[in-house]
Amino acid sequence: MISPAVTTAVNVNKMEAADRSYKDVKTNHRQRFTPFLTMAVVLMIVLIYGLPVYTAYQFASFMEPLAETFVIEPLGELFSDTPVFIHTFLFGDFGIVSLGSFSFIWAFPVVVLVGMSIAITENTRLQNKLVFYIEPSLRKLGLSGADFIPVISGYGCNVVAVMQSKGCRSCTNQQCLSMISFGSACSYQIGATLSIFNAANIPWLFAPYIFLLFVVGAVHTRLWYGKGPAAPVHVPASTRLRKPDWKTILFKVKGMLSQFFYQAMPIFLIICFAAFLLDELAVIDYFISFVKPLLILMTLPPEGAVGVIFSFFRKDGILLFNEGSGAVLASFSTLEIFVLVYLASTLSGCLVTIWTIARQAGTAFASKHVLKQAVTSLVSAAVVLFLTKGVLTIFSYFN
């Protein structure tokens, strides 16, 4: 039986050998690590994972009015003679049919297309190839190339990404978890955000929203968890790309769809039911009272408290900003919508993600992690509000 001391020594030797190997590769290919190449790789990553989101947005934009005209409205008329309680439960401000259908229309295409993109780039090793070339830039954020792979996976599902982070070097695992929780918008969060921005006729805000998530997430990670020691990427640049194994890819996507139908959608419908029940019992105002003072202090509309509260459970709780078929949303300004969605996205990871982090890194780390993220979210949201209002004031003064 091998003693723990021997095992530790072997692991240390392997890590040192990997460090030397990475330094050798970097020395031999130093000319490849240029700002131009880094920008080209970043642009490629944006296109690979951005085009599926854009395609999903176009599809959902096309389907939403059709669903409203041919499904939701006819069903509303069909159930018009039912008791008020049942009709409100199905088609009210937090209705299972009204809000649930929008969740499906906006989240499902994102889950499928982003999931396909992630599965293909993983299977063909393109993901590892791209990560290798942005490794130097990642180190400045306190991440290694190996850490960035779970961060990319987080755009599919944060929980899966947290589980993947077990492969990160122990010295950068905290940075990786932090970046996933703050900067990786999961498929459901992306779908909900696209839906809200589209309902408010400001879809162009999605790109700044994703950019802000990543930038503030990187700053948050660096400030709270430090730069971290160097950690070599696990796959060298010499790794050859391979043809996609469609059977494996489809199996992975099938797993994502199963999670969507058997976990994500049921939980969202439960959230809708909980919001409806709390609203009917007039209990929801009690919970909102905890968040309202904070929003008022930040000069944000207190009506946005519902979406912020339920986003703690799941990120597609953001859709509750669209209560009343968009009537509440229409009363918010563009800046208020952007900051409210940003707050709901970043104030905390969803409940399942936090629970997974606690299981993996311990309850103490998860508790501190939640507090640190909340502080960063509130401060950064206040900065965005202050700077934007300041710029708008100056601009209006000179005009």
Q: Which residue has the higher pLDDT, 177 or 372?
A: 372
Residue 317 above 90 pLDDT?
no
Per-residue pLDDT tens digits for 237-276: 556 788 999 999 999 889 888 877 887 778 778 878 887 8
In this predicted structure, what is the pLDDT of residue 228? 55
Which pLDDT score is estimated for 337?
94
Least confident of 28-32, 166-170, 207-211, 254-258: 28-32
**What value does the mean pLDDT of the chain take?**
80
Residue entry with tokens 């909900």 = 192
pLDDT of residue 106: 82
Is residue 257 exposed (0-12), middle (13-18) or buried (19+ Cβ within 10 Å)?
Answer: middle
Note the pLDDT tens digit of each residue in 320-343.
Answer: 888 766 777 888 999 999 999 999
Q: What is residue 40's predicted lDDT score, i.e. its pLDDT?
A: 84
Q: What is the pLDDT of residue 14?
A: 45
Average pLDDT for residues 117-138, to the nearest whole number?
83
pLDDT digits (tens, 9 = 90+) for 39-62: 888 888 888 888 888 898 889 889
pLDDT tops 50 at residue 28? no
Q: What are phi and psi of 143, to 5 degrees?
A: -115, 155
Buried-state track 18-28, b at ≥16 Cβ within 10 A, e below 16: eeeebeebbee
Mean pLDDT of 23-32: 49
CA angle 113, 115, 37 (to 5 degrees): 90
pLDDT, residue 120, reads: 92
For 264, list phi and psi in degrees, rounded to 5.
-65, -55
pLDDT score of 375:
95
Ranges of each domain in the chain: 15-26+34-231+245-398
- Residue 397 pLDDT > 80, yes or no? no
Q: What is the pLDDT of residues 144-203, one digit of tens each?
A: 666 676 777 777 778 777 776 665 554 457 888 888 889 888 888 888 899 899 889 999
Other Cβ atoms closer than 10 A to 270 = 13
Q: What is the pLDDT at residue 3? A: 53
Positive/negative CA dihedral, 29, 35, 37, 39: positive
Instruction: Quote the CA–CA distance of 391 and 393 in Å, as a whole number.
Output: 5
Q: Which residue has the higher pLDDT, 90 or 27?
A: 90
**Distance separating the N- and C-terminal Cα atoms of the chain:** 79
Given a cut of 80, whether residue 101 has pLDDT beyond it is yes
Question: What pLDDT sits at residue 206?
Answer: 93
Tally of CB atoms within 10 A around 268: 25
Residues ≥6 apart with Cβ < 8 Å to 11: none
User: According to the model, what pLDDT value does residue 7 have?
Assistant: 45
Taking the model in full, what pTM does it have? 0.78
> What is the chain's length?
399
Rounded Cα distance, 323 and 311, in Å: 14
Check residues 155 and 346 and name the one with the higher pLDDT.
Answer: 346
Question: What's the confidence (pLDDT) of residue 218?
Answer: 85
**Out of 18-27, 201-210, 217-226, 244-253, least confident range:** 18-27
Mean local confidence (pLDDT), 344-373: 89
Phi, psi of 233 (to 5 degrees): -65, 145
pLDDT given at position 213 = 93
